[in-house]
Homo-oligomer: A and B are copies of this chain.
């Protein structure tokens, strides 16, 4: 599967001329998943030549404006361009009301179906706060190739992180075993799915002898906005790519904590503790014109760190 993510915005709340606020576009083969949708996201999609009508699923982490103020405009543009395909939105309950109210005010009846999937509410958030030793993740989406899991982040409003994980593919039958055991066709699917095989003589052949393990499922974790919290580690452990916000540098750790944001060093510490393969940092405060120092700070702790700058594509 082609599995990659394109950064559409790496700014925190205040947009700049070179950094749009939060939005990431996940490619999973021909499918496009949008994660967050700040003001200006539809223009970013145009800028990077994305066929954005192919987006079928949009995930909104939380209801701070820099994560969803571009959603209503994108929905309207879909409508004006004659979209027919169903669109699935995943967000907290108030989002549905906000969108409905704006569509009502403009007397717009979207010409395509929108299915709203509410994410777990405040009770989920409290659970997370009360039980620092565990993270309550929950299923958000699943298809034949991909599973999306939600989990609470530590922010000033209810906020959900998302883990996008490939489903394990079927096991691969070793060619020489097919020939040696003369395995009939009707058994192939069952063996690929992990079953043992009993041949015509009644001999049992263990699956592991006949097959090779499928490639390890890859995963992408999207964690913004959040203060430093080790509670997320069990969910994001060993992810191939982790996006973790790094609004500030370590000299502003206190401000970060007060505003429920993280520093670059904290993002790197989470990456290290979770044993992820690669970390990308973003959601940078507009105060930083140069991002090099944030990258340096993170790399001191976790060398495989990269800047999630607008337009950059990361293979997962």
Contact = CB atoms under 8 A, between A and B. Distances in A.
Interface of A: 13-17, 39-40, 42-43, 46-47, 63-66, 69-70, 72-73, 76-77, 80-81, 94-95, 97-98, 101-102, 104-107, 156-157
A97 B97 CA distance: 12
B106 A47 contact: no
A34 to B, nearest CB: 16
Contact of A105 (B47, B95, B102): B95
Contact of A65 (B13, B94, B106, B157): B106
A164 to B, nearest CB: 25
B76 A106 contact: no
A148 B38 CA distance: 33
Nearest to A39: B73
A41 to B, nearest CB: 9
Contacts of A77: 13-15
In this complex, which of A39, A46, A69 has the most chain B Cβ atoms within 10 angstroms of its Cβ? A39
A39 B70 contact: yes
Contacts of A47: 17
Given A43-B40, A65-B102, A107 B15 contact: no
A17 to B, nearest CB: 6
Contacts of A156: 107
Contacts of A80: 13-14
Contacts of A106: 63-65, 157
Nearest to A104: B94
10 contacts: A14-B77, A15-B43, A17-B46, A63-B106, A64-B106, A65-B72, A65-B102, A69-B76, A98-B105, A101-B101
A73 B69 contact: yes
Contacts of A70: 39
Given A39-B39, A105-B95, A65 B76 contact: yes
A106 B92 CA distance: 11
A73 B65 CA distance: 7
Contacts of A76: 13, 65-66, 69
A229 B43 CA distance: 33
Contacts of A94: 101, 104-105
Contacts of A95: 105
A76 B69 CA distance: 11
Given A13-B80, A105-B98, A106-B63, A72 B73 contact: no
A40 B15 CA distance: 10
A66 B76 CA distance: 9
Nearest to A156: B107
Contacts of A69: 39, 69, 72-73, 76, 102
A173 B305 CA distance: 73
